[in-house]
A and B are shown apart, each in its own frame.
Chain A
Amino acid sequence: MTGMRAVGILSRFATTRTYVNYEVKDDVAVIRINDPNSKVNTLSAQMQSEMTQVMNEVWANGAVRSAVLISSKPGCFIAGADINMIEACQTEEDVTAISQEGQKMFEKVAKSPIPIIAAINGSCLGGGLEFAIACQYRVATKSKKTILGTPEVMLGLLPGAGGTQRLPKMVGLPAAFDMMLTGRNLSADKAKKMGLIHHLVHPLGPGLKQPEGRTIEYLEEVAVGLAKGVASGTVPVKPQKRIMQKIQDYIMGIPLVRQQIYKTVGKKVAKQTKGLYPAPLKIIEAVQAGLEKGSEVGYVVESQNFGKLAMTTESKALVGIYHGQVTCKKNRFGTPEKEVTKLAVLGAGLMGAGIAQVTVNRGVGTILKDTSEVALSRGQQQVYNGFNEMTKKKRITAFERDTSMSSLSPQLDYSGFDKVDMVIEAVFEDMDLKHKVLKDVEAVISPHCVFATNTSALPIKDIAAVSKRPEKVIGMHYFSPVEKMQLLEIITTDKTSKDTTASAVAVGLKQGKVVIVVKDGPGFYTTRCLATMMAEAVRALQEGMGPKKLDSVTTSFGFPVGAATLLDEVGIDVGTHVAEYLSKAFGPRFGGGDIEVMKAMLEKGFKGRKSGKGCFIYEKGSKKKKVNPGVEEIVKKFKLAIPASVSSDLDLQFRLVSRFVNEAVMCLQEGILSGPVEGDIGAVFGLGFPPCHGGPFWFVDSFGADNLVQKMRKFEEVYGNQFTPCQLLLDHAKDSSKKFHK
């Protein structure tokens, strides 16, 4: 009788559940997850509570001998824990409690009396992966959308629901460290080879239903079959390990070897993070605790470290970047009236060819035009080499490479330009040339075609001045190398139409870029920020700081590339060009180092990396960078005395950073930037601003505007108005409740 009532209650629960449901097929409980309010499934509080209810019901059901866990959402198994849930926590203890809850839930899954089969289609990340590896068996579709990984480290966190404990046992210590410390995604194939999943199912094509839906059904059918097999013992749950894996497992069984690994990995992490990112070390700590002191201790360390990490500024900054990136992957200008299906790139140089590569990669027919056969052929080779590298790394097939290449039409004339929807010019940064090109192009394109200009500093409105249709002219500032740098800075003038902007953003997103849209002005946003820092770097050189010193103070702040190396990467010629131009536009505020230093370098042919010599000497095959003695000589000629009050390493670091940050804030103040989020994303993805500081605006918030102003005032006394804090920064310094990010 009570049993009957219990069933009644249970069935009432079943009808109110919206995230997790289950049905029993033969003796297999098929548990389906689907967050009705989102494109992806996350382990939110409600998802977890419904999951717990369902699991308890399944376990209580005597007729069920095994279970299948599957998502009904196409392209997503479980994309991870709910970040908002962690962000909402006020204290370390709260976060630790969340972690412990997850640990407990997955521990129950791992100790389940019946086998649970995780059937994975789509992203299986973070908490989703931890859930999956707690199950007894994993089957996944071999779809491109199926990715597995532990990206927590990229948010400054660690896998906090048993991941640091289970993963090393499952894939071995080295592979587990690799996954958790890099946060990189694994394809289903790779995961199978590593022993992370047992079985692969190939996605299906057209049939009697939509392929995606049918593939999920098929995965379920296969998983149900496997579940029965696992329950009856005919399907082994221990993945077959290759000999190499067995040997590795044996070696890892030796405590001394493990100690050595912790040490080596720790050292490597310290070197790479320069102590700026706490998460990797905490991951190593949790893994080590589990393996050396038993899983009970391991779980405690894992959850406590998780709590600690969640409260760090680094983690908050990284989470901020994550949110920002999501924002900048959307087109806030809406869908353009006409989708760009054919595009032309003018100039087959490094930039032009790079733009062409990322465009044809998405199947958009692309004309690559240059004026000389030699330049065109070089550009074409660059695109081919780019794809060939991807082929060698098995990211695409040789066939995909070939079809992408056939979307590229290299040519020397303007034929076919009447059919393109957008022209992106990437010719040399010279106003007269840009004007000529714009006029030539406008004579041949159709009225709807957008003209985008790729420039790092020239104001778009000046370029557009000769246009007959300025509403169709826009700036698209790519970063070199285009196929690797994620940022695209789009610049609109007062006359640029909204549809033109929407079209440019849509193209950028199609090219896989993170897009920020800024207002027109000399140097726009990114170049302006960078130019101030570079001017300061040149001054530091004159003050006798060697290029190596300059690099080390910037990288120790968290920049991936040091200031001197960056100067070489950008190119001394380009740098000089931009610096001269911006000094003219902004006056002495953009001064600092003497421009003549750079000109002297150019005279000697030190153009930076591309000419083999810049601040450093670059030799093919040699990774060691030697300081260029020629530069040291030049610098001596322009030597400046360094005032003792601003000569420490920390001072130098802040001289570089504060000018960068101040300029960023000024861009927001002037309305060049539409908001701090785009400012942070632009600086992090385009200029390598340290992610651990979250971007210039995050940095002001966390470091304190008042602290920054104080530092700047000190520099201002010595160097003058280059260090005058802008009004917006002063406002924030005055009122500590003012924050760029709420």
Chain B
Amino acid sequence: MALMLMKSVRNSPVTSSWLINIQLSNSLCGFFFPGFSKKGQPKSKKTLAKSGVKNIVLVEGVRTPFLMAGTTYNDLMPHDLARASLQGLLTKTGLPKDAVEYLVFGTVIQEVKTSNVAREAALGAGFSDKIPAHTVTMACISSNQAMTTAVGLIAAGQCDTVVAGGVEFMSDVPIRHSRKMRKIMLSLNKAKTFGQRMALLGKMRLSHFAPELPAVAEFSTGETMGHSADRLAAAFGVTRLEQDEFAFRSHNFAKKAQDAGFLSDVLSISVPGKGMVSKDNGIRPSSLDQMAKLKPAFIKPHGTVTAANSSFLTDGASSTLIMSEEKALAMGFKPKAYLRDFVFVSQDPKDQLLLGPTYSTSKILEKTGLTLADIDVLEFHEAFAGQIMANLKAMDSDWFAQTYVGKKSKVGSVPMEKLNTWGGSLSLGHPFGATGCRLVTTTAHRLRKEGGQYGLVAACAAGGQGHAMIVEAYPQ
């Protein structure tokens, strides 16, 4: 009944539903009286709610602790981490397993045994085998893609309750035999006689045994991402000191947030044979002097990107529960935020590999009619400190906006006091496929904590792609 009423509310003009609204639920207030932000100046737009479009909400977001690759998670498999995050989500929300209609997970480096890791994790976590699941991949914005896929499913009326997540497991990656070796091995399958088999084995050479390692390199250009980041930093004149300072800031903010207990999305999980893990282990506030001592990691010796100002290889998984607002309310949930609008962008994978946030921010702001000043919380993915600084400079440049983005003027100067104040990928870690959910969940949590209305998530990804999403606080 309530459900039906709400539908009519949503579909009717705002003013005419005035009375019903009050009777219905307090929590719907935000829908009609949004923008009651305690913070900042009046907004360009009171809400991003659109008539005729379903409101889609983030009900909850959780993640496993993000650990440096090769540490406590060493002996697990990717779906174990994903499973842990799913179970955490269930525990935290009390969501009945059969209430979920669909699962989507993002991942980048696939474990070939569990290439549809979403399905394996769901089964392992005890979800009904009647719930379909699929896995998406879009480099570092894979779980952003998972979340927007969920948004799409709900908006299209396919589902009301979707779990979107992401997982990355860098402690173990598929290392393959060489192509020549694989060819012989595959032919061996087809060989029928002993003679044929021996002839094939005779073809093997020592060099065929050299393995093929996966590289964090662009397929189209062959350039590693760190190398591209170093060139990007140089193109924007980002100094080594600026990068170290930004990384230093990230670690300090992360430490403070961790100590203050702000990182409430982090689950405690039990690792077989190793015990409980409940904290990210990559947060290491150091000193600028210490950081200055490191040698460049990619462009030697004159580069500026080092191990200390880059994100590190990380294991981790994250999950979010995304629902239509009406369903969430009907089930008695208290949503954390609206997932309002999003864009995906892409550009030259060589020279603009990591400039996604600049393009996506510009595009989402234009699309939603907001300005940078309307944004209370900024969560940008920190692949490299140099990449973040380059993006900040690009967004603050009219020349760049006009020459490359095709806009009349720049996005503006990003207010640092609003950016990644609880740490970022540099310090918390960056499990490629799982970072997107962390960004969105953190944005929702920060909006709550800081009392803002609009949050902006932006990220870059391999392939020269990028993503941005506007998250709007759910009225408390």
Give residues in A with beta carbon < 8 Å to B: 199, 201-209, 211, 214, 218, 222, 225-226, 397, 399
Contact = CB atoms under 8 A, between A and B. Distances in A.
Interface stretch (B192-200, B228-236, B329-337, B440-448): B228-236
Contacts of A201: 302
B235 A204 contact: yes
A206 B352 contact: yes
Contact of A205 (B219, B227, B352): B352
A439 to B, nearest CB: 44
A208 B237 contact: yes
B79 interface: no
B41 to A, nearest CB: 29
B397 A208 contact: yes
B299 interface: yes
A218 B234 contact: yes
Contact of B237 (A202, A203, A207, A397): A207
List the 10 closest A-B pairs by CB distance, nearest first: A205-B351, A207-B235, A204-B235, A207-B236, A222-B302, A399-B220, A218-B234, A208-B397, A206-B404, A204-B231
Contacts of B350: 205
Nearest to B351: A205
Given A206-B400, A397-B222, 6 more contacts: A205-B351, A207-B237, A208-B236, A208-B400, A211-B235, A222-B302
Nearest to A202: B231
Contacts of B403: 206
Contacts of B399: 208-209
Contacts, number: 55
Nearest to B298: A202
Contact of A225 (B302, B355, B404): B302
B440 to A, nearest CB: 29
B221 interface: yes
B348 interface: yes
10 contacts: A201-B302, A204-B235, A206-B400, A206-B404, A207-B232, A207-B390, A208-B237, A208-B394, A226-B302, A399-B219
B393 interface: yes
Interface string B228-250: 00011011110000000000000
A623 to B, nearest CB: 29
B227 A214 contact: no
A222 B234 CA distance: 10
B419 to A, nearest CB: 20
A218 B220 CA distance: 25
B81 to A, nearest CB: 33
Contacts of A209: 399
A203 B299 CA distance: 12
Most chain B C-beta atoms within 10 Å of own C-beta, residue among A199, A207, A209, A399: A207
A399 B352 CA distance: 17
B351 A204 contact: yes
Interface centre among A199, A201, A206, A225 (most CB of B within 10 A): A206
Interface in B388-445: 390, 393-394, 397, 399-400, 403-404
Contacts of A203: 231
Contacts of B302: 199, 201, 222, 225-226
B126 to A, nearest CB: 44
Nearest to A215: B235
A205 B348 contact: yes
Contacts of B237: 207-208
A205 B220 contact: no
B351 A211 contact: yes
Contacts of A204: 231, 234-235, 351
B389 to A, nearest CB: 12
Nearest to A200: B299
B235 A214 contact: yes
B299 A202 contact: yes
Nearest to A400: B220
Nearest to A397: B222
Contacts of B355: 206
A204 B236 CA distance: 9
Interface string B369-402: 0000000000000000000001001100101100
Contacts of B234: 204, 207, 218
Given A205-B351, A222-B302, A399 B235 contact: no
A207 B288 CA distance: 26
Nearest to B404: A206
A218 B299 CA distance: 13
Contacts of A211: 235, 351
Contacts of A206: 235, 351-352, 355, 400, 403-404
Most chain A CB inside 10 Å of its own CB: which residue of B232, B237, B399, B403: B237
A344 to B, nearest CB: 28
A205 B235 contact: yes
A205 B231 contact: yes
Contacts of A222: 302
Nearest to A205: B351
A397 B349 CA distance: 15
A399 B348 contact: no
Nearest to B221: A399
Contacts of B236: 207-208
B226 to A, nearest CB: 12
A138 to B, nearest CB: 15
Nearest to B350: A205
Nearest to A201: B302
A679 to B, nearest CB: 44
A547 B438 CA distance: 79
A146 to B, nearest CB: 16
Contacts of A399: 219-221
Nearest to B348: A205
Contacts of A205: 231-232, 235, 348, 350-352
Contacts of B232: 205, 207
Contacts of A397: 221-222
Contacts of B351: 204-206, 211
A224 to B, nearest CB: 10
Interface string B283-315: 000000000000000010010000000000000
A714 to B, nearest CB: 64
A399 B237 CA distance: 30
A434 B75 CA distance: 72
A202 B404 contact: no
Nearest to B349: A399
Q: Which of B221, B227, B236, B400 has the most C-beta atoms of chain A within 10 angstroms of its own C-beta?
A: B236
Contacts of B227: 202
Query: Which of B221, B235, B404 has the largest number of chain A CB atoms within 10 A?
Result: B235
Nearest to B227: A202
Nearest to B396: A208
A218 B231 CA distance: 10
A607 B219 CA distance: 46
A491 B236 CA distance: 50
A225 B400 CA distance: 28
Nearest to A199: B302
Contacts of B390: 207
A206 B232 CA distance: 8
B119 to A, nearest CB: 33
Nearest to B397: A208
A426 to B, nearest CB: 32
A225 B355 CA distance: 28
A208 B234 CA distance: 10
A226 B403 CA distance: 33
Nearest to B228: A205
Contacts of B235: 204-208, 211, 214, 218
A214 B397 CA distance: 15
A295 to B, nearest CB: 33
A204 B223 CA distance: 13
B352 A208 contact: no
A194 B235 CA distance: 29
Interface string B11-42: 00000000000000000000000000000000
Interface string B338-379: 000000000010111001000000000000000000000000
A590 to B, nearest CB: 55
A695 B390 CA distance: 55
